[in-house]
Amino acid sequence: MTITYDDLNDLIKNGKIDTVVVACVDMQGRLMGKRLTGRHFYDWLKRRLALARLYMR
């Protein structure tokens, strides 16, 4: 299932998403990463997308 940027914002505002796990699998199959609040992840993503758009010009 793919969630668009706007859908993510709506889900966070409605309280349906509280925490986002950003992780990858290590050599033993464990998830290694961080838990972020939904709002923090959304703001982080918004900044990164803005920088990516500037870079691509």
Closest CA to 6 of 46, 54, 48, 44: 46
Tens digits of per-residue pLDDT, 18-57?
Answer: 999 999 999 999 999 999 999 999 999 888 887 766 666 5
pLDDT at 46: 87
| One-letter amino acid of 46 | K
Alpha-carbon distance 29 to 14, whole Å?
33
- Domain segments of the chain: what residues? 5-56
Token pair listed for 18: 């509280």
pTM score: 0.71
